[in-house]
Amino acid sequence: MAATADTVRQVEDVTGGAYKYGFVTDIEADVAPLGLDESTIHFISAKKEEPAWLLEWRLKAFQQWKRMVEPEWAKVNYQRIDYQGIHYYSAPKQKDGPKSLDEVDPELLKTYEKLGIPLREQELLAGVVAVDAVFDSVSVATTYKKELEKKGIVFCSISEAVREHPELVRRYLGSVVPVADNYFACLNSAVFTDGSFVYIPKGVRCPMELSTYFRINAQNTGQFERTLIIADEGSYVSYLEGCTAPQRDENQLHAAVVELVTLDDAQIKYSTVQNWYPGDENGKGGIYNFVTKRGACRGKRSKISWTQVETGSAITWKYPSCILQGDDSVGEFYSVAITNNAQQADTGTKMIHIGRNTRSTIVSKGISAGRADNTYRGLVRISKKADGARNYTQCDSLLIGDKCGAHTVPYIESKNPTARVEHEATTSKISEDQLFYCLSRGLTQEQAVSLIVNGFCKEVMKELPMEFAVEAQKLIGISLEGSVG
Amino acid sequence: MALLEIEGLHVEVGGKPILKGIDLSIEPGEVHAIMGPNGSGKSTLSYVLAGRDGYEVTAGSIRFDGHDLLEMAADERAVAGIFLAFQYPVELPGVTGMTFLKEAVNARRKAEGEGDIDAMAFLKMVRAKAKTLSITDEMLKRAVNVGFSGGEKKRNEILHMAVLEPKLCVLDETDSGLDIDALKIVSDGVNALRDPGRSMLVITHYQRLLDHIEPDKVHVLAGGQIRRTGGKELALELERNGYADFVEAA
Ligand SMILES: Nc1ncnc2c1ncn2[C@@H]1O[C@H](COP(=O)(O)OP(=O)(O)OP(=O)(O)O)[C@@H](O)[C@H]1O
Ligand SMILES: [Mg+2]
């Protein structure tokens, strides 16, 4: 626990004790009673000192959520979630987590070691120490925050944004993912507590990958995270979410919402490396990740690009999507989803073409090993007015072993005869020949699998920001260890 | 002491006996050629040497450079110095030639207790060797063997060999599919690697290759056994008479 104590001091040093929304004030108190009713929402809103409109907004979401039924998907099986068995608000959880690394799944520790993660960070990732109590990154964060402020860029927690930039939040929150969009997004709208807010002013090109330098802090991912990114006219931002190191969390259910908005000529590049704890070999203790991610290309010639590498979670359910409203706007989705052992992933994207000459590209690479199941579900919808719309979809599955599955479910709905939609799909296996060829050159079985899989994912990996890509490559190898031979 | 010593080797594939008692001994620096009809077990022998799964040794032994080869996994054999140039090189989509070779080189260095090779030094070394084999930079940037012509694939195998500098080179029909110029390039590449410490086992159907790569010994493999061993004149004889004598004997 030494790490916690001295990071507290460091944070105080850095901020002169003014780390207002940190853990210093209320680390152990402030846990909402178990379960969810209207009073829970009042409690959260009061804790966050929110304006009345937001409380209203939450309550409305809650009313709608109560009337909704939890969806069932054909390809994903899991134990029902007890929504009354969750604390919907709690300060950094010191008590629930393991007390030391000795109590952590040794497999997880092995992975940390392979990724070369320092001990202190290991403690953090494994949940031994509180997330926002992290050494150097705080001072680094403060430095970069100043640089961003100079350019008028806002990058802060969503709670802070509600206080400091209410007009922006009010205007855009829920404007891409409506409150009642789906069961999990609706729940999130009612109870979200954490998340990031980004605003890039007109004509500004964000000078750094956002959250690279904040990565550790940015992991303060609660169960119900809410992220809102707005790129004003002619601006550009690249945002990184997640971390290659597997993260453990006491919360089994994660239901985040991410909303992106681009105005005329603006561009958002959103990259995710998601590596939640998948549970043990049988998926026990793994995270359920049900997330709603959607971007609206509101402006002409604007562009939103999702790149994701998914290796974690027991269950992943997510469809980062683009609504292409502005004429000539562009949506992209590049995805690698790896499932091993008992993991299940149901991912894909939706490209909704509304504006004229809108273009979208989908490249999905699914890799299954062990007994895992991997489903790609894609929807391309071309509305009546979307003259000249174009979509290209490429969907490749790679199977390792013969107990796993891959499913590709493309939906295409075109109401405009001038639209062009292309779809290509392949399923392959790592062949005995390929493995032996690699072995005969001295590579180990594991290196061979990693190399072949990384080759298979190449088109997606090259979309990741450089430093992220290198880590992600390693991660792919590690997550497939033991899957062959 | 022989670099490679095969004694009484019997091998089955899918329950079917393919090699039926092979004895073969290769001294350091020697080049041996193996010729024989289709399906006689030449590739099988090369796979067994490289350690491919599914090739079951039912009797006999193989010693290589002081090791009991049959105790070693395929990757261990490779880093110990066995190299197989494939009859049918395998495609690795998305894996560039440079990446692949670097992994291979580093695997070997690791086995020898060395750190990873310096990236610049590696690049320079590979480019220089590629040049002698008429392999362009463009080819090195492409995925391994993907879309390569038959001849390009074979030249690429020799590049791997030149970069990895193995102790025992097994070349499985590296000459088939090569045009006359490529045959010369490949042979020159192989000859450049001839070394008093390095041995070669060259599998071929054509005497022509042996004009370029002069063997110390030629073996005829038929029906899973070595039927005859001679000097390079044996290849000329086979060219004239074919395998009729050996196939009947089998
Ligand atoms: N997996 C397998 N199952 C059954 N038989 C096999 C298998 N692999 C090889 N064989 C058989 O083993 C025999 C020897 O094959 P091998 O490839 O070693 O011949 P080769 O001498 O290299 O022939 P070629 O000159 O045509 O390359 C052939 O009859 C072949 O059909
Ligand atoms: Mg053969």
| Nearest one of A392, A330, A393 to A356, comparing CA atoms | A330
User: Quick check: A30 pLDDT over 70?
Assistant: no
Beta bridge partners of residue A228, listed in sequence order? A197, A259
Of A204-208, A253-257, B203-207, give the lowest mean pLDDT range: A253-257
CATH T-level topology, domain B4-249: Rossmann fold (3.40.50)
- pTM for this predicted structure: 0.82
Local structure of residue B71 (DSSP, 8 states): G
Supply the Cα-derived Rg of chain B in whole angstroms: 18
Phi, psi of B92 (to 5 degrees): -125, 90
* CB within 8 Å: B53 and A432: yes
pLDDT of residue A136: 34
pLDDT of residue A311: 82
- Could you tell me which residue, B79 or A103, shows the higher pLDDT? B79
The mean per-residue pLDDT over the stretch B82-103 comes to 95
User: Quick check: A10 pLDDT over 70?
Assistant: no
| Binding-face residues of A in 446-465 toward B, CB within 8 A | 447, 451-452, 454-459
pLDDT for A353-366, tens place per residue? 999 999 999 999 99
Q: Which of A69-83, A187-201, B69-83 reaches the highest mean pLDDT?
A: B69-83
* C-alpha–C-alpha distance, residues B150 and B156, integer Å: 10
Q: How many CA atoms lie within 13 A of A358 on its CB side?
A: 32
Q: Look at chain B and count its residues.
A: 250
pLDDT of residue A107: 67
Where residue A117 falls among pLDDT bands split at 50, 70, 90?
low
pLDDT of residue A485: 55
| Nearest one of B22, B97, B10, B118 to B58, comparing CA atoms | B10
Option in B54, B84, B104 nearest A443 (CB): B104
A429 contact residues in B (CB cutoff 8 A): none
pLDDT of residue A188: 94
User: Quick check: A2 pLDDT over 50?
Assistant: no
User: Quick check: B174 pLDDT over 60?
Assistant: yes
User: Quick check: B226 pLDDT over 80?
Assistant: yes
| Nearest one of B41, B15, B14 to B24, comparing CA atoms | B41
| Nearest one of A424, A429, A485, A419 to A453, comparing CA atoms | A429
pLDDT of residue A216: 37
Contacts (Cβ under 8 Å, ≥6 apart) of A235:
A200, A201, A202, A203, A204, A205, A206, A266, A267
CB neighbours of residue B191 within 10 Å: 13
A439 contact residues in B (CB cutoff 8 A): 51, 73-75, 78
Write down the number of H helices and E strands in chain A: 14, 18
Tokens describing residue A449: 């699998």
* CB within 8 Å: A451 and B83: no
* CB within 8 Å: A441 and B143: no
The mean per-residue pLDDT over the stretch A146-167 comes to 89
pLDDT of residue A213: 38
- Could you tell me which residue, A151 or A475, shows the higher pLDDT? A151
Which of A336, A397, A437 should we substitute to test contact with B (largest number of B Cβ atoms within 10 Å)? A437
Phi, psi of A280 (to 5 degrees): -75, -170
Looking at the CA of residue B36, tell me the nearest atom of ligand 1. 21
Return the residue of A nearest to B86 by Cα: A437
Option in B78, B95, B108 nearest A451 (CB): B95
pLDDT for A272-316, tens place per residue? 887 777 777 766 777 788 889 999 999 999 999 999 998 877 778
Kindly state if the Cβ of B9 falls inside 6 Å of ligand 1. Answer: no
User: Quick check: B17 pLDDT over 80?
Assistant: yes
User: Quick check: A177 pLDDT over 70?
Assistant: yes
- E strand or H helix at A238: strand A236-242
Where residue B51 falls among pLDDT bands split at 50, 70, 90?
very high
Q: Where are the domains of chain B?
A: 4-249
End-to-end CA distance of chain A: 40
Q: What are the DSSP calls for B102-168, one per residue?
A: HHHHHHHHHHTT--PPPHHHHHHHHHHHHHHTT--HHHHHSEETTT--HHHHHHHHHHHHHHH--SE
User: Quick check: B31 pLDDT over 90?
Assistant: yes
Kindly state if the Cβ of B18 falls inside 6 Å of ligand 1. Answer: yes
The mean per-residue pLDDT over the stretch A211-233 comes to 66
Kindly state if the Cβ of B15 falls inside 6 Å of ligand 1. Answer: no
* C-alpha–C-alpha distance, residues B229 and A200, integer Å: 79
pLDDT of residue B56: 95
Phi, psi of A140 (to 5 degrees): -60, -45
- Of all ligands present, the nearest one to the C-alpha of B47 is 1
User: Quick check: B107 pLDDT over 90?
Assistant: yes
B84 contact residues in A (CB cutoff 8 A): 440
User: Quick check: A329 pLDDT over 60?
Assistant: yes
Kindly state if the Cβ of B52 falls inside 6 Å of ligand 1. Answer: no
Phi, psi of A382 (to 5 degrees): -110, 115
Kindly state if the Cβ of B217 falls inside 6 Å of ligand 1. Answer: no
CB A297 within 8 A of CB A303: yes
Is the Cβ of A484 closer than 8 Å to some Cβ of chain B? no
Evaluate the CA torsion angle A262, A222, A54, A161 in order and state its sign: negative
Q: In chain B, what percentage of residues exceed pLDDT 90?
A: 85
* CB within 8 Å: A437 and B160: no
| Binding-face residues of A in 397-436 toward B, CB within 8 A | 431-434, 436
Evaluate the CA torsion angle A221, A304, A477, B115 in order and state its sign: negative
Kindly state if the Cβ of B43 falls inside 6 Å of ligand 1. Answer: yes
**Ordered alpha helix ranges (H), chain B:** 42-50, 74-80, 97-111, 119-132, 137-141, 150-164, 180-192, 207-212, 233-241, 244-249
- Could you tell me which residue, A229 or A78, shows the higher pLDDT? A229
Where residue A321 falls among pLDDT bands split at 50, 70, 90?
very high
How near does any CA of chain A get to the CA of B248, in Å? 34
| Nearest one of A79, A224, A448, A434 to B92, comparing CA atoms | A434
CB A22 within 8 A of CB A132: yes
Where residue A251 falls among pLDDT bands split at 50, 70, 90?
low
Where residue A243 falls among pLDDT bands split at 50, 70, 90?
low
How near does any CA of chain A get to the CA of B118, in Å? 17
User: Quick check: A386 pLDDT over 50?
Assistant: yes
Local structure of residue A221 (DSSP, 8 states): -
Contacts (Cβ under 8 Å, ≥6 apart) of A111:
A245, A246, A478
Burial A316-332 (b: 16+ CB within 10 A, else e): bbbbbbbbbbbbbbbbb
The mean per-residue pLDDT over the stretch A21-42 comes to 59
Tell me the three state secondary structure of residue B77. helix
Where residue B80 falls among pLDDT bands split at 50, 70, 90?
very high
Where residue A405 falls among pLDDT bands split at 50, 70, 90?
confident
User: Quick check: A219 pLDDT over 50?
Assistant: no
Kindly state if the Cβ of B46 falls inside 6 Å of ligand 1. Answer: no
Quote the ligand 2 centre to B39 CA distance (angstroms): 7
Q: In chain A, what percentage of residues exceed pLDDT 90?
A: 44
Kindly state if the Cβ of B53 falls inside 6 Å of ligand 1. Answer: no
* CB within 8 Å: A455 and B94: yes
Which of A440, A451, A459 should we substitute to test contact with B (largest number of B Cβ atoms within 10 Å)? A440
Tell me the three state secondary structure of residue A376. strand
**ipTM of this model?**
0.96
Where residue A217 falls among pLDDT bands split at 50, 70, 90?
very low
User: Quick check: A221 pLDDT over 80?
Assistant: no
The mean per-residue pLDDT over the stretch A53-69 comes to 95
Option in B53, B94, B104 nearest A442 (CB): B104
Is the Cβ of A84 closer than 8 Å to some Cβ of chain B? no
Kindly state if the Cβ of B39 falls inside 6 Å of ligand 1. Answer: yes
| Nearest one of A159, A240, A242, A169 to A199, comparing CA atoms | A169
User: Quick check: A470 pLDDT over 80?
Assistant: no
Protein residue with least CA distance to atom 31, ligand 1: B39
pLDDT of residue B34: 96
pLDDT for A413-468, tens place per residue? 999 999 999 999 999 888 899 999 999 999 999 899 999 999 999 999 999 887 67
Using the structure block, give the residue that is written with the tokens 């092979």: B22
User: Quick check: A17 pLDDT over 50?
Assistant: no
Substitution candidate for ligand 1 out of B18, B46, B48, B221 with most atoms within 8 A of CB:
B18
